[in-house]
Homo-oligomer: A and B are copies of this chain.
């Protein structure tokens, strides 16, 4: 690293990076991956295509980076009541799936994950796995302090919470969403998770 290292010419405009990523998410949200053109992204970002290709080598690389920016800060709820904790987590998950930024992206993102695409793998690692780990942690802690049966299969329990939520999102175009849905699901689950064995 010499002193005069990398200081030639006009420096890159950091705000341009943000504008492009934002544009990718918007267009993705509106038309999906298949119908998203680089011209559309460039136009939305108010940027030349050359500027995009100066940063990413391909459309796919750009999308992967944009998706990775969806990572949300994960924060453990800290109530002493497992019921409200789970309801909070569920509401958060549903809010995330219906997020303005990611709302329409989510459906095809599910397809990407299920198909094992590059984009899908990156999304899974950046978003899904940390969030699942968080929910699992909450459940594990509740098992330790005796709020939940100690013989629960944590992985299965996480599936039992998140599965119906994702299904609800998938079927959204087909039916209305019950209010207080989160409470109903959590109560139904807890009836089994708190019960004495046998």
Q: How close is A99's CB to chain B, nearest CB, in angstroms?
A: 14
Q: Which of B162, B163, B195 contacts A195 (CB 8 A)?
A: B195
Contacts of A128 in B (CB 8 A): 171, 174
Pair A185/B165 contact, Cβ less than 8 Å: no
CB distance from A151 to the nearest CB of B (A): 10
Q: Which residues from 135 to 165 on chain A have a C-beta closer than 8 Å to any C-beta of chain B?
A: 153, 156-157, 159-160, 162-165
| Stretch in contact with the other chain, from A5-13, A17-25, A71-79, A106-114 | A106-114
Contact with B along A44-75 (1 / 0, CB 8 A): 00000000000000000000000000000000
List chain B residues, Cβ under 8 A from A153.
184, 188
Q: Does A133 contact B (CB under 8 A)?
A: no
Query: How far, in angstroms, from A156 to B189 measured CA to CA in the complex?
Result: 11
A105 CB to nearest chain B CB (Å): 10
Nearest CB to that of A113 among chain B residues? Answer: B170
CB of A150, distance to nearest CB on chain B (Å)? 14
Chain A residues within 8 Å of B, Cβ to Cβ = 32-34, 104, 106-108, 110-111, 113-116, 120-121, 124, 128-129, 153, 156-157, 159-160, 162-174, 184-185, 188-193, 195
Q: Pick 16 A–B contacts, CB within 8 A, sort by A.
A: A104-B115, A107-B111, A108-B115, A110-B170, A111-B111, A113-B170, A113-B171, A114-B172, A156-B188, A160-B189, A163-B168, A191-B191, A191-B192, A191-B195, A192-B193, A195-B195
